[in-house]
Amino acid sequence: MSKAFTPTAARPGVITANDLREGHNVWMCDEGWTADPKRATVFEDEAIAEIALLEAIGQADRVVGPYLAEVRRGPDGPEPTHFREAFRQTGPSNYFHGIQAEKAQAANV
Amino acid sequence: MFDIRPVETDYVRHRAQQFRDQVARRLDGSLTEDEFKPLRLMNGVYLQLHAYMLRVAIPYGTISPDQMRMLAHLAATYDKGYGHWTTRQNIQFNWPKLVDIPDMLDDLASAGMHAIQTSGNTIRNVTTDAFAGAAKDEVTDPRPYAELLRSWSTDHAEFQWLPRKFKIAISGGSRDRALVAAHDIGLRLVEQDGKAGFEVWVGGGLGRTPMLGQVIRDFLPEEDLLPYIEAIIATYNLSGRRDNKYKARIKITVSERGLDVFKAETEEEFLRRRRDFHGADREALAIFKDRFAAPAFRNAGSDGYQAERQANPAFRSWADTNLHDHKVDGYASVIVTFKSPGETPGDASAEQMRLLADLAEKYGHNDLRISHDQNVVLPHVHKSDLAALYLALREAGLATANAGLTSDIIACPGMDYCALATARSIPIAQEIADHFRAEGLEEEIGKLNIRISGCINACGHHHLGHIGILGLDRAGVENYQITLGGDGYDIPAIGQRAGAGFPAEEVVPAIDRLMRAYLEVRESASERFLDAYRRLGPAPFKAALYPEAAHA
């Protein structure tokens, strides 16, 4: 599990949590929190990441359980390195529900 | 002190209102998450991988048509149109918003339902045989005792903060169908000198340290049920470990302290406790026995059933597989499996729930059960109604003739939903079911019990599967360990690990090799895989799973 993960330049990370009111997965971004993991702020410095994590923990009126998760940089933004985080970014594999469905819906609007 | 609460609706509504206030205080910042979490867990609210999850109690798996419609309403209104039957006879909703859950609890309360004690370190849902009150081999109907235990344990002040969660199962059949040996306390109804009582098991459980329970009392008279159970749990409450979550279940308490020590302490506590019970428990039991009186069974012919069996091979196949012997002539219990090929084990849509409610009213004496193997049972159906029932089920995709067969797989939600999971369960179950049905091997293989868990906590009861599959994270890749020889029923046994785990894509080929090896070595079609495994030992089956090692 990635909860004790600390990012470095070689192994960058993002901060992720669940939305308090609705429960869906969110990622810390420059403007606050986003449901789009590709827009997450990428941390490469342990100290900066830990300050940001403390800031996230301080936003308990907005999110639940923030933690640092490892990513790699991809052409469209950060990508998960572990399958658990990959599932959190898409949704379950038995139904087209969760973030994958919301993305598809947004694309069709 | 035990007291009867004849009408609990007010209490359930009160608890729903309390939770509404707690959510409001969490949202306005008066409660921190650390303060709120135990409160939400007391009401069955988890935070999972993608969303909140609400687990609703279905006491001993018994549910009325109107309550089933309420579950359908929740699925359609607050979720994505479906719910998931659990291995403890409850239902889980995977997508509720926290802000909607107080409304869900209000709606549930209006149908006499709730989510109290479906989580937390308390006494959880008391489970039993899905064929209770109907099975031909039943000694005594376990439901009045299950209701007594439910009523007594709900909000029991002393047992709200046990060292760990606590699960009780009660079985009334001459054959155990409630997994008595795998529970913190297991109760088997037995008779001695014409008196009803219990064989009491203690200290069973699965999870990371699977253990079968041990008999702590050969015969407990029924009137001593509550004081004795209270004595066991009070003893555990004091002596159970609180320093280590993984050593906190009663199975560890009993195994570390020894059954003799634990029994001596329990018996001493029992003598003290029994003095405090002044008969209210026995009065309640008498009331509950009346409440669970048998329905007015019909005395009608079943010629139509026999004729339809002759005329319709698909119906005959379903009837041969999905019916269970009923104690009343002319009746059968019907297993509606939620294991159709390609579907998620245990998932039911709102439409399916509504249909089952209608069918229970039309053909099933208004009775429905959720079974621990994630199916639904109509316990009382007259055989003359089976053909019509089958047709209605088939139109809804609910007439798969696979109860107890290869594709009737028990699977936890795994990493498709669960925050604790280390790998997915559902796709593995789907692939195995699809494969064996496509190969046409399911009927030939016969009775087979496959169980899959997506982590070591074993919600899929993989240790009790003839074939158990445990999903793990091996260096960032899903990997599946196979156990063989488990049994939750006739001769309880914990399955033994066969060897190294398999990557996801190699699980189906491995199970395929295993089944073909079994078909080669079995003595007759009636020798199940488990029987052949017991006769021959693991060697031929390990050789099938690991052919390279066998030839090395």
**Using one digit for the tens of pLDDT, what is the confidence trace for B67-98?**
999 999 999 999 999 999 999 999 999 999 99
Q: Which residue has the tokens 């005395």?
A: B299
Lowest mean pLDDT among B7-21, B146-160, B432-446, B527-541: B7-21
- pLDDT the model gives residue B7: 43
pLDDT average, residue stretch B231-254: 97
CATH architecture under which domain B305-395 falls: Alpha-Beta Complex (3.90)
Which chain A residues touch B430 with a CB distance below 8 Å?
A: 94
| CA distance to A13, B82, B187, B189, B220, per residue, from B195 (Å) | 66, 44, 15, 10, 10
| Whole-number Å distance between alpha carbons of B73 and B75 | 5
Is the pLDDT reported for residue B552 higher than 90? Answer: no
pLDDT digit string (tens) for B279-299? 999 999 999 999 999 999 999
Looking at the predicted structure, is the pLDDT value of residue B4 above 90?
no
Task: List, in sequence order, the alpha helices (H) in B441-491.
Answer: 442-445
Amino acid symbol at B472: L
Do A102 and A35 form a contact (C-beta atoms < 8 A)?
yes
Query: What does the pLDDT look like over B97-139, one tens digit per residue?
Result: 999 999 999 999 999 999 999 999 999 999 999 999 999 999 9
| Confidence (pLDDT) at B10 | 87
Residue in A with minimal Cα distance to B97: A22
Question: Which class for A47: exposed (0-12), middle (13-18), buried (19 or more C-beta within 10 A)?
Answer: exposed
Statement: residue B191 has pLDDT above 60: yes
Tokens at A67, concatenated? 């933690």
Cβ distance of A93 and B32 shorter than 8 Å: no
A60·B478 Cβ contact <8 A: no
Q: What residues in chain B have their Cβ under 8 A from chain A's Cβ atoms?
A: 26-27, 29, 32-33, 47-52, 80, 94-99, 344, 347, 415-417, 424, 426-427, 430, 473, 476-478
Parse chain B into domains and list their residue ranges. Answer: 9-110, 134-291, 305-395, 410-551
Separation CA B291–CA B287 (nearest Å): 6
CB of A65 within 8 Å of a chain B CB? The answer is yes
B339, B345 Cβ separation under 8 angstroms: yes
CB pairs under 8 A between A and B: 74
* pLDDT score, position B222: 95
- Check: CB of residue B479 under 8 Å from CB of residue B473: yes
How far apart are alpha carbons B253 and B240 in whole angstroms? Answer: 5
Please provide the CATH number assigned to the domain covering B410-551. 3.30.413.10
Are B430 and A94 within 8 A, CB to CB?
yes
Q: Determine the pLDDT at residue B550.
A: 64
State the SS3 of B222-284. HHHHHHHHHHHHHHHHHHCCCCCHHHCCHHHHHHHHCHHHHHHHHHHHHHHHHCCCCCHHHHH
Averaged pLDDT of chain B: 95
Share of chain B above pLDDT 70, in %: 98
User: Dihedral of the CA atoms B344, B429, B61, B64 (nearest 10)?
Assistant: 30
Q: Average pLDDT, stretch B426-434?
A: 98
User: What is the spatial distance between Cα B9 and Cα B267, in angstroms, rounded to a whole number?
Assistant: 36
| pTM score of the predicted model | 0.96
Percent of chain B with pLDDT over 90: 95
Kindly state whether A22 is in contact with chain B, defined as any CB-CB distance less than 8 angstroms. yes
Q: Is the pLDDT of residue B368 over 60?
A: yes
Task: Kindly tell me if the per-residue pLDDT of B501 is higher than 90.
Answer: yes
A82–B476 C-beta distance less than 8 A = yes
Chain A residues with beta carbon closer than 8 angstroms to that of B97: 21-23
CATH of domain B9-110: 3.90.480.20
**Is a pLDDT exceeding 90 seen at residue B158?**
yes
A5-16 per-position pLDDT tens digit: 999 999 999 999
Residue B3 pLDDT greater than 80, yes or no: no
Q: In the CATH hierarchy, which fold is given to the domain comprising B134-291?
A: Sulfite Reductase Hemoprotein; domain 1 (3.30.413)
Domain boundaries, chain A: 13-108
Of B26, B27, B416, the CB nearest to A93: B416
pLDDT band, very low/low/confident/very high, at B379 (cuts 50, 70, 90): very high
Backbone angles phi, psi at B38, to 5 degrees: -60, -30
The answer on pLDDT for B239 being more than 70 is: yes
User: Is A20 within 8 Å of chain B by CB?
Assistant: yes
What is the mean pLDDT of the segment spanning B8-21?
92
Query: How far is the C-alpha of B162 from the C-alpha of B230, rounded, in Å?
Result: 12
* Per-residue pLDDT at B2: 44
Task: Give the closest of B97, B430, B477 to A23, CB-based.
Answer: B97
Return the pLDDT at B303.
Answer: 86
B262-273 confidence digits (pLDDT tens): 999 999 999 999
The nearest CA of chain B is from the CA of A24 a distance in Å of: 5
User: Is a pLDDT exceeding 60 seen at residue B143?
Assistant: yes
Mean pLDDT of B544-549: 92
Which of B52, B94, B476 faces A83 most closely, judged by CB atoms? B476
Question: Of B144 and B173, which is predicted with more confidence?
Answer: B144
Work out the percent of chain A whose per-residue pLDDT is above 90: 89
Instruction: Supply the pLDDT for residue B287.
Output: 93
Cβ contact, residue pair A61, B33, below 8 Å:
no
B457: Cβ contacts below 8 Å, ≥ 6 apart: B207, B208, B420
Closest Cβ opposite residue A21 in set B98, B415, B478 = B98
The residue-averaged pLDDT of B497-508 equals 98
Same CATH fold assignment for domains B9-110 and B305-395: yes
Statement: residue B446 has pLDDT above 90:
yes
> How far is Cα B131 from Cα B368, in angstroms, rounded to an integer?
10
pLDDT of res. B5: 47
Q: Residues in chain A with pLDDT < 50?
A: 1-2
- Which of A60, A64, A93 is closest, CB to CB, to B47? A64
